[in-house]
Amino acid sequence: MEETELIALAQAGDKQALAKLVKNYEQTIYNFAFKICRDKNKAEHIMQETFFSMVKSLYQFDGNSKLSTWLYRIVSNHCLMLARKFKNRSFVSLDDEDGLYEEKYAADWNTIPYKSTENEELKVILDEAIEKLSPEYRMVFLLRDVEGLSTEETAQATELSVPAVKSRLHRARAFLRNELNQAFQK
């Protein structure tokens, strides 16, 4: 059954159609929430809240955007709400854009012995690097580069302007690349 049909049925109160929609997106939403908060318990909590919001407001979904973009917007909001509860955490400032493009380390990425993302040591490096970014930057990088949304869809999901998405994306990307470069040099 097409997604539009499932949505129409779910909007009309069909619980089986709603369950199917949830099942179609639960893996994506859980994975995305984990990538933002890097914690499996928090990811599960955010996933539950996201689908609870979806169930509550599905009748408002007008089909003007993809359901996935709409869900990314909801999950992004829940991630931000959770992050705001931990306000005392400080994140790196990316205001010095020139500094981001200065090459301070000379790591040779070709000789990295643990290139597989199944490698626990690499996972730690990836977690530590992205955790330094504020959730606002993380969100843009993950939606645009990792989840593959377009710049416009990322702007919709984050309620940012397209130029703001581009600016955050480039800074986040450069920062993460530099963090990895530094870690690989060790």
Partner 1 sequence: MKEDKVTCKDVMQHICESLREDLNSERCIAIKKHLDECSGCQNYVQTVELTIDYYRKYNVKLPKESHDRLMKFLDLEDSD
Token pair of 41 as six digits: 């318990």
Binds partner 1 by CB under 8 A, chosen from 109, 152, 161, 185: 109
Binds partner 1 by CB under 8 A, chosen from 5, 15, 89, 99: 15
Residues 137-176 that bind partner 1 (CB under 8 A): 141-142, 145-148, 151, 163, 166-167, 169-170, 173-174, 176
Query: Is residue 80 close enough to count as binding partner 1 by CB under 8 A?
Result: no
Binds partner 1 by CB under 8 A, chosen from 1, 2, 23, 186: 23
Binds partner 1 by CB under 8 A, chosen from 126, 133, 139, 157: 126
Q: Helices 151-158 and 162-185 meet at what angle, rounded to 10? A: 100
C-beta closer to partner 1: residue 20 or 132: 20
Query: Is residue 186 close enough to count as binding partner 1 by CB under 8 A?
Result: no
Query: Is residue 30 close enough to count as binding partner 1 by CB under 8 A?
Result: yes
